[in-house]
Amino acid sequence: MKRSVEFLFDVGSPYSYLAYHALPAIARAAGAEIVWRPILLGAIIKTTGGHSPFEVPAKMRWVEQDLERCAAALAVPFRLNPHFPVNTLVAMRIATGLQAQRPADFPAWVEASFRAMWAEGRNLADPTELAAVIRAAGFDDQELLALASQQAVKDKLRSDSEAAIARGVFGAPTFFVGELMYWGNDRLDQVALALAPESAAG
Amino acid sequence: MKRSVEFLFDVGSPYSYLAYHALPAIARAAGAEIVWRPILLGAIIKTTGGHSPFEVPAKMRWVEQDLERCAAALAVPFRLNPHFPVNTLVAMRIATGLQAQRPADFPAWVEASFRAMWAEGRNLADPTELAAVIRAAGFDDQELLALASQQAVKDKLRSDSEAAIARGVFGAPTFFVGELMYWGNDRLDQVALALAPESAAG
């Protein structure tokens, strides 16, 4: 059985963006498959009683430096989104809808929305900007916005986020290798160990 | 000039305990000196508007697993202190007082109080247990409690914690290499890079 690592992410989360760039090489080296799991981080933080770093100014100042250092170490373009925190509800509904109904288009949207948030400083909560980002990614904005407004798509993002909470998720990125949970881009070394062939965890 | 890394810690912080065990080898490899800086984490979290992971049950459940994994990776004895979070005010005043007045005794107290908290599950906020931990470390409990009650010692721990906040500190462990700040046991790889001879940061 092929090993796999589940990647729970929200494109509004900067550490999810870093993990998005770091995880593929780790999975490839382990011969493992990435199982992509879009979730709505804002809803998860609210339900679990968590806090955004934004609430603690000193922490946010450090997070900004840390993100720049981590992105530089990965050689990934990064600038803190000036609109952060951004409501990614529609962007994540599009991801959920594409994954379920047009899976071949899912990777391009994940790439485009992460890049818009964390390399281009776009405001995905603004309908005009969101439509422009969709079009720039080569999609029809009316089509994807219609997809995002399907009740089944809305329900799936909600139930997937609730299912994540039921498994213990409180933040993003979160990884699962089997039932072992890892929170944070900075736990990818442990994910790599759990995926190693000699490990019993995968 | 010898490179140095400042280590801001509170013995009540489990990730400070891990860093306490991991940092010496990193500093030694870099030929750097560790500058030990006792601080009172509870006061810093309160002043900066932060939150203990304890406030978010799902996060605390994961932190407990994470601490066990990280301790196992370091081969360091660990169990979550059943009294956590523990008020370490007197323990940290002792650390501050010893460092200033009896520096030769400072390392033994740091070792004993970290071990009491994170290997032995002792409650350092309980006067009887604290006195027992002091005696087990080979010190006179009356002497060290008298040291902790000196106004100059109380003032120094407070002003050192306030100075840390003024430099941007909001949690522990925190490291400084020059003016570069790193928060968290999981940033020790970056501390090692900053201390490397080819780096301009130290």
Q: What is the pLDDT of residues B118-127, one digit of tens each?
A: 999 999 999 9
Q: Average pLDDT for residues A169-174, to the nearest whole number?
A: 97
Confidence at residue A133, expressed as pLDDT on a 0 to 100 scale: 98
* Cβ–Cβ under 8 Å, residues A76 and A111: no
Residue A137 has pLDDT above 70, yes or no: yes
Confidence at residue B199, expressed as pLDDT on a 0 to 100 scale: 64
Q: How far is it, in rounded angstroms, from Cα B139 to Cα B131? A: 9
Confidence at residue A199, expressed as pLDDT on a 0 to 100 scale: 64
Confidence of residue B55 (pLDDT cuts 50, 70, 90): confident
Whether this prediction's pTM lies above 0.80 is answered by yes
Q: Which pLDDT tens digit goes with each residue over B165-189?
A: 999 999 999 999 999 999 999 999 9
Residue B38 has pLDDT above 90, yes or no: yes
Q: Which pLDDT tens digit goes with each residue over B65-102?
A: 999 999 999 999 999 999 999 999 999 999 999 999 99
What chain A residue is nearest to B164 in terms of C-alpha separation?
A: A58
Say yes or no for a CB contact (<8 Å) between B59 and A170: yes
Residue A188 has pLDDT above 70, yes or no: yes
Residue in B55, B69, B165 nearest the CB of A190: B69
Query: Distance from A178 to chain B by nearest Cα, in Å?
Result: 15
Contacting residues for A142 by C-beta, under 8 A, at least 6 apart? none
Choosing among A48, A56, A67, which should be mutated to test the B contact, i.e. which has the most B CBs within 10 A? A56
Contacting residues for B4 by C-beta, under 8 A, at least 6 apart? B32, B33, B34, B35, B177, B202
What chain A residue is nearest to B58 in terms of C-alpha separation?
A: A168
Choosing among B8, B186, B193, which should be mutated to test the A contact, i.e. which has the most A CBs within 10 A? B186
Residue B146 has pLDDT above 90, yes or no: yes
Closest CA to B109 of B91, B123, B126, B122: B91
Query: Distance from A171 to chain B by nearest Cα, in Å?
Result: 8
Confidence of residue A52 (pLDDT cuts 50, 70, 90): confident
Residue in B48, B55, B65 nearest the CB of A49: B55
The chain-wide mean pLDDT, for chain B, equals 95
Residue A198 has pLDDT above 80, yes or no: no
Residue in B62, B186, B187 nearest the CB of A181: B62
Q: Which residues of A touch B59 (CB under 8 A)?
A: 48, 50, 170-171, 183
Collapsing DSSP to helix, strand or coil, B177 comes out as strand
Confidence at residue B54, expressed as pLDDT on a 0 to 100 scale: 79
Contacting residues for A120 by C-beta, under 8 A, at least 6 apart? none
Bigger pLDDT: A201 or B71? B71
* Cβ–Cβ under 8 Å, residues B91 and B38: no
Query: Distance from A125 to chain B by nearest Cα, in Å?
Result: 27
Residue B41 has pLDDT above 80, yes or no: yes
Q: Which residues of A touch B51 (CB under 8 A)?
A: 51, 56
CATH for B4-195 is 3.40.30.10
Confidence at residue B179, expressed as pLDDT on a 0 to 100 scale: 94
Say yes or no for a CB contact (<8 Å) between B59 and A51: no
Say yes or no for a CB contact (<8 Å) between A168 and B56: no
Say yes or no for a CB contact (<8 Å) between B48 and A65: no
Q: Which residues of B touch A61 (CB under 8 A)?
A: 168
Confidence at residue A19, expressed as pLDDT on a 0 to 100 scale: 98
Q: Which residues of B touch A59 (CB under 8 A)?
A: 48, 50, 170-171, 183
* Cβ–Cβ under 8 Å, residues A183 and B56: no
* Cβ–Cβ under 8 Å, residues A29 and A82: no
Residue A114 has pLDDT above 60, yes or no: yes
Q: Which of A93-107, B40-54, B175-189 has the lowest mean pLDDT?
A: B40-54
Say yes or no for a CB contact (<8 Å) between A59 and B48: yes
Q: Which residues of A touch B68 (CB under 8 A)?
A: none
The chain-wide mean pLDDT, for chain A, equals 95
Confidence at residue A202, expressed as pLDDT on a 0 to 100 scale: 42
Bigger pLDDT: B179 or A197? B179
What chain A residue is nearest to B72 in terms of C-alpha separation?
A: A190
Say yes or no for a CB contact (<8 Å) between A184 and B186: yes
Q: Peptide bond before B197: cis, by omega within 30 degrees of 0?
A: no
Bigger pLDDT: B186 or A2? B186
Quote the distance between the C-alpha of residue B33 and its chain's center: 16
Say yes or no for a CB contact (<8 Å) between A187 and B51: no
Q: How far is it, in rounded angstroms, from Cα A47 to Cα A30? A: 34
* Cβ–Cβ under 8 Å, residues B107 and B38: no
Q: Which residues of B touch A62 (CB under 8 A)?
A: 168, 170, 181, 183
Partner residues linked to A174 by β-bridges: A8, A183
